[in-house]
DNA sequence: TGAAATGTTGGGGCG
DNA sequence: ACGCCCCAACATTTC
């Protein structure tokens, strides 16, 4: 009787799961295990932690229908897995490889003590496989993508097991209390449903609508991909086959491009783990950031006085998700207009985002702050008013997240501080009382940022 | 996956 | 008819 442990980390799926498939191959029984790592403090994970717990509940239910069961433990993975191996007599542990510095250290510790087999599945092409002629990693997106696209695509799809052998129920702790996020119902089935809905209804217009936070133009798949409720291989293959069958291409290729960005940042973090500690470009270590707790808190609270910035920050705090265009604008605002170290923003996003992943989050922030591998030039500073007019033309997104501004007329919704007093009275909003005046003046803040970045550029 | 400043052009008003 | 100015509209350069 051979027993294998399937150690689940961020691959919460039964469909197209190479680590699970490897565990099942040749084993008489497989024990699915999730371990809450005691080094990760749930209070810092907030909404993402609840999403994880909900997802584990669904996975548990799915496993029960197959005849199996999920074992939940909490503690240090080396200790917990050692106990599980002893209790079950398992001769092997299979897990999907993860490439963040934290995960690599953890798996090194487990692998040196126990028979751990890491199986690739997190990305389509694993880190180290997309490299330049001299086998150095790419640091610019476009050539990375060109090489990425030239590699053979494995569109093989591993079906979910139709049943699993029961295992003796090892001691398992109950899952913490949690509740469903109304925008992101947890579980593999919900993820598949969302993918199909997106393909059908929004993908063909993706290139036109994806930058519009007031529309449903994006896939909203990121939390599911983050926790592996969908495999990248499957998601990408679905996009490609949809493009073939619909004969339509413009929207699809720009969406597939976004998936390649995700791969790019995972590769970057694997090759340059120092990006989690500071700027990728060492010369930009020297930006003289302002140290203002008050301004940071104003940004976090969505009270900067720039409606689109505040709408994005409130959407994040209230839902655990923010539209990508708003992520870029809010990030640019913190790093450029407020001249606060982007790492404070990186930390805030990680705390609140359901899809919070060190590689993508760090990559996005370094891009916005102009410190990254393939970064926006330091002098590229978003004008929050122009961005607002361009991407939220009627102000629907602003009004959805800033109830104070719900009745502000369209002419003023992007820059309410310009409202004459009689208009303020007419719509019942006094700027400076019901909604803040701008925390900084755009032109002056822009000049300040240019000067500060110039020092270290 | 910007925006502002600066430069150029050309139509129209007007003396 | 002509030169001059104004200023959109667009293009280029700079941050």
My answer on whether A135 and A117 are in the same domain is: no
A162 domain-assigned: no
Rounded distance in angstroms from the CA atom of residue A390 to the C1' atom of nucleotide C6: 30
- Beta partners for A7? A33, A95
A167 domain-assigned: no
Check whether residue A414 has its CB closer than 7 Å to nucleic acid strand B: no
pLDDT for A46: 85
pLDDT for A383: 97
Residue nearest to nucleotide B2 (CA to C1'): A380
A174 domain-assigned: no
A166 domain-assigned: no
My answer on whether A151 and A51 are in the same domain is: no
- Please identify which residue in the block is written with the tokens 């209070």: A43
What is the C-alpha separation between A348 and A342, in angstroms, rounded? 10
With CA of A453 and C1' of each nucleotide, the nearest comes out as: C15
Which residue range forms the structural domain that includes residue A208?
124-156+188-271
Residues 350-409 of A with CB under 7 A from strand C: 377, 379
With CA of A381 and C1' of each nucleotide, the nearest comes out as: B2
A426 domain-assigned: yes
Dihedral angle over CA of A300, A304, A305, A306, nearest 10:
-80
User: Which active-site residues of A does the annotation give?
Assistant: 258, 261, 289, 324, 342, 365
pLDDT for A454: 86
Q: How many CA atoms lie within 13 A of A25 on its CB side?
A: 10
Rounded distance in angstroms from the CA atom of residue A223 to the C1' atom of nucleotide B7: 48
Distance between terminal CA atoms of chain A? 63
Dihedral angle over CA of A325, A279, A320, A383, nearest 10:
-30
My answer on whether A118 and A259 are in the same domain is: no
**Tens digits of per-residue pLDDT, A275-323?**
999 999 877 768 999 999 999 999 999 999 999 999 999 999 999 999 9
> Among the three residues A96, A122, A148, which one is the final residue of a domain in this structure?
A122
Check whether residue A450 has its CB closer than 7 Å to nucleic acid strand C: yes
Q: Strand C positions with any atom < 7 Å from protein CB? A: 15
My answer on whether A102 and A222 are in the same domain is: no
Global confidence as pTM: 0.96
In contact, A317 and A331? CB cutoff 8 Å: no
My answer on whether A337 and A450 are in the same domain is: yes
pLDDT for A165: 95
A255 domain-assigned: yes
CATH number reported for the structural domain that contains residue A414 in this entry: 1.10.579.10
Burial class (CB within 10 angstroms; exposed 0-12, middle 13-18, buried 19+) of A150: exposed
Check whether residue A144 has its CB closer than 7 Å to nucleic acid strand B: no
- Beta partners for A5? A31, A93
**In chain A, which residues have pLDDT < 70?**
285, 457
- Beta partners for A431? A435
A82 domain-assigned: yes
Rounded distance in angstroms from the CA atom of residue A409 to the C1' atom of nucleotide C13: 37
Rounded distance in angstroms from the CA atom of residue A390 to the C1' atom of nucleotide B9: 28
In contact, A96 and A122? CB cutoff 8 Å: yes
Helix/strand/coil for A256? helix
A165 domain-assigned: no
What is the C-alpha separation between A426 and A286, in angstroms, rounded? 48
CATH number reported for the structural domain that contains residue A262 in this entry: 1.25.40.80
With CA of A324 and C1' of each nucleotide, the nearest comes out as: B1
pLDDT for A89: 95
My answer on whether A204 and A67 are in the same domain is: no
Rounded distance in angstroms from the CA atom of residue A7 to the C1' atom of nucleotide C3: 85
In Å, what is the CA distance from A328 to each residue of A41, A149, A159, A351? 28, 26, 37, 17
What is the C-alpha separation between A35 and A38, in angstroms, rounded? 9
**The total number of structural domains that make up chain A:** 3
pLDDT for A94: 98
């Amino acid at each position: 009787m051979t027993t294998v442990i399937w150690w689940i980390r961020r691959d919460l799926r039964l469909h197209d799961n190479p680590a699970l498939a490897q565990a099942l191959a040749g084993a008489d029984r497989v024990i699915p295990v999730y371990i809450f790592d005691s080094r990760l403090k749930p209070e810092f994970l907030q909404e993402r932690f609840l999403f994880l717990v909900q997802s584990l509940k669904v996975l548990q239910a799915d496993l029960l229908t197959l005849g199996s069961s999920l074992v939940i433990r909490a503690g240090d993975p080396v200790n917990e897995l050692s106990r599980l191996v002893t209790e079950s007599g398992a001769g092997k542990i299979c897990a999907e490889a993860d490439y963040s510095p934290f995960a690599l250290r953890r798996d090194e510790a487990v692998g040196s003590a126990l028979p751990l087999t890491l199986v690739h599945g997190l990305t389509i092409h694993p880190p180290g496989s997309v490299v330049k002629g001299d086998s150095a990693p790419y640091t610019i997106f476009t050539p990375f993508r060109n090489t990425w696209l030239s590699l053979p695509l494995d569109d093989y799809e591993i079906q979910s097991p139709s049943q699993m052998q029961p295992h003796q129920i090892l001691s398992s702790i109950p899952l913490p209390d949690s509740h469903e996020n109304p925008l992101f119902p947890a579980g593999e089935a919900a993820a598949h449903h969302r993918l199909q809905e997106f393909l059908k209804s929004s993908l063909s217009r993706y290139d036109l609508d994806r930058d519009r936070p007031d529309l449903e133009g994006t896939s909203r798949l990121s939390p599911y991909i983050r926790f592996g409720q969908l495999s990248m291989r499957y998601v990408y293959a679905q996009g490609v086959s949809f493009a073939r069958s619909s004969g339509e291409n413009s929207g699809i290729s720009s969406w597939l491009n976004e998936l390649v960005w995700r791969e790019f940042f995972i590769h970057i973090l694997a090759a340059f783990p120092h990006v989690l500690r500071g700027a990728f470009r060492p010369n930009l270590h020297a930006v003289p950031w302002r140290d203002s707790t008050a301004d940071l808190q104003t940004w976090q609270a969505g009270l900067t006085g720039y409606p689109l910035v505040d709408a994005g920050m409130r959407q994040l705090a209230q839902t655990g998700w923010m539209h990508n265009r708003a992520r870029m604008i809010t990030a640019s605002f913190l790093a450029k207009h407020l001249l606060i170290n982007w790492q404070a923003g990186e930390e805030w996003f990680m705390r609140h985002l359901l899809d919070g992943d060190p590689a993508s989050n760090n990559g996005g922030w370094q891009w916005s702050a102009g410190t990254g591998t393939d970064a926006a030039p330091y002098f590229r500073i978003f004008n929050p008013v122009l961005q607002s007019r361009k991407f939220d033309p009627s102000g629907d997104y602003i009004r959805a997240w800033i109830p104070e501004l719900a009745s502000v007329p369209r002419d003023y919704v992007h820059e309410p501080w310009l409202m004459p007093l009689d208009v303020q009275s007419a719509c019942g909003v006094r700027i400076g009382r019901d909604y803040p005046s701008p925390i900084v003046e755009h032109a002056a803040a822009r000049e300040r940022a240019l000067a500060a970045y110039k020092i270290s550029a």
